[in-house]
Amino acid sequence: MDQSPTQTRGSIPYAASQGRGQQRIEMGEALIATLRESGIADHYRSDTDDIVADFFEPCMSAAARYDRAVGYFTSTSLALASSGVERLIRNDGRIRLVASPKLTEDDIEQIELGYEYRTIIDRALMREIDAGVEESPILLQRLGLLGKLIGQGVLDIRIAVVRRGDRLALYHEKIGIFTDQSGDQIAFNGSSNETASAFIDNFESVEVFRSWNTADSGRVKRLARNFDQIWKGQTPKLEVFEFFELGKERLLELARKASASTEDSYPTPDSGIIIGAAGGSFRLPQIAQRLKLREYQREAIRAWFAANGRGIFEMATGTGKTITALSAITKLAEIYDKQDRPLLAVVVAPQLHLVDQWAREARSFGVRPLCCYDDAKTWIDSAHALTSGLAARTNGFAMMITTNVTLGKPAFQQVLQQYQSPFVFVADEAHNLGAASALSSLPSAAPHRLALSATPERWFDPIGTEALRNYFGPTLITLGLQKAISIGALCEYDYRPVPVELNADESRLYAALSQRIGRLLGAEDSDPDSENSELAMLLLRRAQLLSHTRGKLPSLAAEVEKRRDSSWQLVYCAEGVAPQADSGDERQADQVMRLLGRDLNIPCHPYTSTESRPERQRILERFRSADLRALVSMRCLDEGVDIPDARVAYMLGSSSNPRQFIQRRGRILRKAEGKEVAEIVDFIAVPTGEIDIGLERRLLRREIARFSEFASCARNSGEALATMRPIRTAYGLMDM
């Protein structure tokens, strides 16, 4: 047979490689190769071999089945050998994979705290699927192939962990078996994990056994038998379960994105990456026929155009501010198109999950936005290509969505400054832009401006509030909660305040703090609203004491017990740690997770700043499907998160800022199929012992203000008022 030394190593098909002299027979497009003919040696080592090109790819090309059990798994390993996988598919091949998750110290700690271990394992696996995938077009294409394999039934994944009582250990065995159509097998074991770093960066070795070799046949049979037992869950001490559905959905999603990226080079909306944006389409947005705007939404749009495209929509959380804004933008784009002018829309939101939410909603209008955040290197070229391409046209539309932080960065400011054509600037949760540093980043060149907020008034910042109104314009529509409920835009709710008394130690600390606060309140130069004053520090510590009152956990347990079989529950925990001397550093959120997950056996998950953005999206998906019955949060569910299915909210801790508890209430009042009424359970700490009624009346006004706000619009307002009447009477707060 002719040898071809010029053939690139690792390319397929080829006649010979330079690793070990493996031979393949080329016949046109077909590749006649069996495991016996593949020239596989009895071992491979990183110093002399390319383990992927010399071993895995030839075996994959000849195999009809690939069984693999590994210590750690990341999908990049199969991506590296994707050319071999394609040939396995041509052979009608199948892949069975058993893997163990890479658990971090935090994962292990949460499992020991009583968190649902399946949830933690799923999270660990999803981290590996998400890591850097969409930042690399090549990796996206190769992992898209994995999604195709799952969709076609070629790839099946199962997860193995070692159970030792209440603790988990990793399954760390590494074996593999290739089987071809003639029944020949190649089995192997060695130090290699299924990770990109193992194949490329690490020094690895693989021991190989061939079934047609008499000395190896016994080992091959043993390894194949061991794998079958693992796969069927028949191996003692091992727990084996199916790969979770969200992981499959994620890989299928990558397959769709990979396919779309080859068909259309226009921006990928879910990431900050765009390939060849200048060559994309600039089609106009369209309002879907199925979308029926409410009268107040149409009224808001008419008012915005009457104000020459400037103003504020002050609409209660959950009443469709995003849809209203996108509809207004669509109408504006139509006007520009009739005038043969292009239009750019720039949307800014305070948090990443809101950027993602805007991107999803924009796609329902036929728009494929460019999302700009994180490292400017991932989006800056695409942004310049997008804006320059749009500016060169006589019509068309494009949208960029960014965060408040990225808006203020020089890179994004440069993009806006270089774009000389008209654009519309939309700020979601616009009250966040009232600080002096944020105000300076608002683009002065935007002729059209729209601010969205349920509460545009900034907390104790009249200067910032006025500056926002000067920039965006007047409030064009005010849709408060009571009206939103009455017209059916939001669902009704019941409000259940639960008074919780401080214990003896907490009461003593509370009294000591109150005395110091009382002295400072009498001083002329003390400002309780100055963040840096001694008075403000004492007020904060006292508020933390009320939020972390120990009696709240057993009260929460009693309330959750009443609803333990219900889905779609939210728990809002206090931030920070309790100020009591013996409280330790454990967060209230961790205590609640242990209570719900371990003690009450309720499937739940934290939703905090420690979870990554993709992980939060999957947590919300599991919550919507009722796979998780409760979410435990501190601040991350305050603003903009769309979870209409939520039925019950437990308020363990809230700041005195009314915007926070108004936003939280809004999370629970969104309409959803089968949802008739929501429920808010509010745990209100009540001081006991010897107290100064006059002083406490002044200090409790903010706590009672939240109660009064919640009770005023509740379906059971009379019942809620009756529950709190003794406390309001005792403190002389019946006027609130």
Please state the rounded mean pLDDT for residues 665-673. Answer: 83
Q: Model pTM? A: 0.56
Distance (Å, rounded) from C-alpha 60 to C-alpha 49?
A: 17
Q: Is the pLDDT of residue 195 over 50?
A: no
The SS3 of residue 328 is helix
Distance (Å, rounded) from C-alpha 268 to C-alpha 106?
A: 32
Q: Where are the domains of the chain?
A: 31-257, 267-486, 492-730
Phi–psi pair at 119, nearest 5 degrees: -65, -45
Identify whether the C-beta of residue 196 lies closer than 8 Å to the C-beta of residue 142.
no
Average pLDDT score, the chain: 78
Q: Is the pLDDT of residue 83 over 70?
A: no
Q: Is the pLDDT of residue 8 over 50?
A: no
Q: Is the pLDDT of residue 586 over 90?
A: no
Q: Is the pLDDT of residue 347 over 50?
A: yes
Domain 267-486 CATH class label: alpha beta
- At residue 28, the pLDDT reads 31
Q: Is the pLDDT of residue 6 over 70?
A: no
251-265, 297-311, 522-536, 649-663, range with the lowest pLDDT: 522-536
Q: Is the pLDDT of residue 393 over 70?
A: yes
Q: How many CA atoms lie within 13 A of 503 on its CB side?
A: 9
- β-pair partners for 604: 630
Provide the pLDDT confidence category of residue 202 given band limits of 50, 70 and 90: very low
Distance (Å, rounded) from C-alpha 466 to C-alpha 206?
A: 69
Please state the rounded mean pLDDT for residues 227-232. Answer: 91
Q: Is the pLDDT of residue 161 over 70?
A: yes
- At residue 596, the pLDDT reads 93
Spell out the alpha helix ranges (H) of 563-626. 588-593, 613-624
The CATH code for residues 492-730 is 3.40.50.300
Identify whether the C-beta of residue 424 lies closer than 8 Å to the C-beta of residue 329.
yes
526 token code pair: 């003390």
Residue from 313, 662, 667, 290 nearest 491 by CA: 667
Please state the rounded mean pLDDT for residues 7-18. Answer: 27
Percentage, residues of the chain above pLDDT 70: 74
The domain over range 31-257 is classified in CATH as 3.30.420.280 = no
Provide the pLDDT confidence category of residue 212 given band limits of 50, 70 and 90: very high
Q: Is the pLDDT of residue 736 over 80?
A: no
Q: What is the DSSP string of 9-23?
A: TT-SS-SB-SSS--B
Q: pLDDT tens-digit profile of 713-728? A: 899 988 988 887 877 7
Q: pLDDT tens-digit profile of 16-70? A: 223 333 333 333 333 446 898 888 888 888 777 777 778 887 888 889 999 988 7
Do 31-257 and 267-486 agree at the fold level? no
Q: What is the DSSP string of 654-712?
A: --S-HHHHHHHHHHH----TT--EEEEEEEEEE--SS--HHHHHHHHHHHHHHHHHHHH
